[in-house]
Structure 1
Amino acid sequence: MPKTKMPFPVLLALTLGPALAIGTTLWVVSDMVPTCSITEIQRLPSPDGLLDLVTFTRTCGDTPDNMQAALVPQGEQVPYEAASFVSVLAEVDLEPEWMTNAQIEINLPEDAEILRRDDTVAGVAVTYR
């Protein structure tokens, strides 16, 4: 069987066509996914300086007002995928406070919808008032 060469324009179309289609699809889909942003409200270092108690809002597209809290290593930013240990569907002051290295207190408003409320986080007990 004789070898036949593929014409350059055909080769170009067979390689660039799919690459262009995939790139365009990824570009369109990425515009549909809302971008999330975290706005830090308050940061309190633990008494021993190892952890920071951070309250923040997470906004993804048209998400409603919310307030969350997480523990992060001292001085580090709250990562976008951070799991908060408390999440309230309202923009309120949680009034966080370190009682000891092993206990924190958080204020939860009575009239707000509570989405998450963990009793411990990273070995630290959480008391809600």
Structure 2
Amino acid sequence: MPKTTKMPMAVLLALTLGPAIAIGATLWFVAAAIPECSVNETERLPSPDGQFDLVIFSRDCGDTDQNTQAALVPPGEDVPFDAASFYSVGAGADPDPRWLSATAIEITVPPKATIYRNDATVAGVSVTYKPAT
């Protein structure tokens, strides 16, 4: 019968806990370096048929520029921090949103604003953008 040798408990702990602590510390430092984003809702308009809420909001991820965004969300639900907006401009402005019908939205674009996104349709709803007067 072959002779077996027991591994000392201190060596076993060092070989298992050492890498686990190193990985945990790395994940903690990486998570601390990523800024948390907050969503600040400024306006919510339910669609005429009750299928969606049109939400106007801004997203703050620490050192970000002022922005105004719009998204459609299920009725009464909060805007997720990672929500994909169909409209986004680099300005803090009132886009004066309104439902034209259950399948059409109108949004006012502020003058000289940097437009990051302005989709023509979202979830089967057409979006019209008009310049501010």
C-alpha distance in 2, partners of 1:54/1:2? 72
Aligned to 1:86: 87
Counterpart CA distance in 1 for 2:81 and 2:43 is 16
Looking at structure 2, the residues matched to 50 and 74 of structure 1 have their Cα atoms a distance apart, in angstroms, of: 7
Off by >4 Å, runs of 4+ in structure 1: none
In 2, Cα distance between the equivalents of 1:32 and 1:81? 18
Aligned-residue CA RMSD (Å): 0.8
Deviation at 1:79, TM superposition (A): 1.3
Normalized against structure 1, the TM-score is what? 0.97
1:91-114 superposed Cα distances (whole Å, 9 cap, x missing partner): 110110001001010010121100
Gaps (5+ residues) in structure 1?
A: none
> Which amino acid in structure 1 is aligned with residue 20 of structure 2?
A
**May I ask how many residue pairs the two structures share in their alignment?**
129
Quick one: percent identity of the two aligned structures?
60
Residue deviations 1:19-49 (CA, integer Å, cap 9, x gap): 1101111111111111111111100000111
User: What's the TM-score once normalised by structure 2's chain length?
Assistant: 0.94
Partner in structure 1 of residue 27 of structure 2: 26
